[in-house]
Structure 1
Amino acid sequence: MPAAGRASDTRVFLPRQKDKTPVQTFAERFDTTTASRTKFEPEAVLLQDQGLWPGLRLEEWRGSGGEMPETVLFQHGVMLHHEALTSARIHWSGHRPVTGDFAPGSFGIFPAGLSYSGHARGRWRGVVLGLTPGLVQAVSSSPGARTVELVPGNGIRDGFVWQASLALAADIREGYPGGAIYGESIAVALAAYLRRHHAADPRLQIERIEAGDALRRRVQQFILDQLQEKLTLAEMAAFVQLDVYSFARWFKRAFGMPPHRYLMAARIARARTLLLCTELSLVEIALQCGFSSQSHLSSAFRRFAGIAPGSYRARGRE
């Protein structure tokens, strides 16, 4: 979806205008680099719905290209290109980067929960749809269906999606002559269509998520192999080709704790071994276990083990 934040933070891709009051939109994002939740801030919002359609919002934006840091969306974003950027590159976690222009008449799909980053050049105008995961999930034909994962992409051409967005935009401009139920009906039809034609094969999701002990062992070994690196949740999710939210839920079920806690426990366990079995300095141990400094190691070790690392080493050798 278009960009947010400072001009240097623009993403798909609308920058803040420093001399204007930021425009508030329905669209929010989670910036993984700052761990903060913030609104997108396009140059101009040309059209905005009144929030009458449960699970779906629509706005028309105008803006310019720029850089977008790694971001996660809370809603599924569908970005319809009316006036195209001259070039763009988008990289979704666990997928190959997509490079090309935002051709008029095409659209992009930005799934909720799937981190992405990118950059673009040129001017852009188009319609931005936000669909809640709940709406897309609710149109499932079976009550026990698994979470729907839309497939990310850009430059997609699909007449149904395009016409549905035009009908919704026209309904806003005309003042909702048929009442909210007209747009709500289109929203449900659009969600069902996206689920059927632009979602991952649920059988593949089941195979990935329910791989059981084999997948658990692979993830465990991956973490141990990367302990000295600055390992991120997005990197762990990409390793098994899941979005960050699906991975975090699966991880907690598989390991009994969230990823960050498991990662810290693994770092502390390795530090214990190195403290007792080697002559490495605390600085060297900190680096080999993925801590940024000796003080980082010391504070984390005290929190988990209840004792300073130096004291732990001394007691272990008494």
Structure 2
Amino acid sequence: MDRKQKFQIHFKEGDAAAEITTAKSWRGVSVQFSRLKLPAEYEFKWEGHSHYLAHHDLVLLDGEMEVVGERPVAAQDLRDKMTYVPAGQTITGWCSPVARLNAFTVVNFNPVDMEEELQVEFNGAEPRPQIYFKDDALGATMRKLGRLMADKNQPAAKVYIETVGLTAALEMFRISQPETTKIKLAGQLSQAQANMVKEFIAENLARDIGLDDLASVCGLTRFHFSRSFKATFGEPPHRYLTRVRMERATQMLAATKLSLSDIAGACGFNGISQFGRAFRDVVGKTPLEFRRQA
């Protein structure tokens, strides 16, 4: 992630630090998650050429945020509130948090890439900043994204977290645009496209396949591919991919003596821990239990 695009935190106490910070980026979208363990006062700043969206799980003794050139906004209870600032503007502020685990998730997204994803051109008025607002649908997506980013020990599959991050960016992009804009919904994949996707997944199952990888096979944007895929297969790409991985894993557990680590790698999982959790969620038992009963 470009440092100029990164949400920057400066603690006033020299030994204070974020308990966890993770960052990921894909074409047109980057995500940063931070969880603050210490009740230490800090200053923050963000500036860049992308749109900025933050979901807050913060409770403050005091603090304020300022979009440079506008009046500062004070706040205390920011749980499940969000902030959106269009590209080209700067945010500064400070926070004095209460003694709890405070966290926030930041999504930066490029407006040009989002127009390309939706395959529409927005000609309305320039979007305005929205400080500490609420939206049920977008809030649910951002909470999910935060949970995925927070789990460093058992990271989610690339295709899943990329889908959630892109969904958050697209939801905010549409919220900030005129309601008169109509987005053409995609239909099903053609039989040729569906076959190409299935073949690509089968041949690359050991890789951490991303949404961009799958969409490129069909020559579609990620937004339209996701909707066409679900209309075709009856489930989103990440669930389909997980199911195919489980089918191969069960076959390998029953028919080979390969180690769990080898099977996890062959099926595209980032280690035994992620493999075991996904296997229990889908099959209802651990890989070893399944192998003993096969």
Band the TM-score falls in, shorter-chain normalisation: 0.3 to 0.5
TM-score, structure 2 length as denominator? Answer: 0.46
Larger radius of gyration: 1
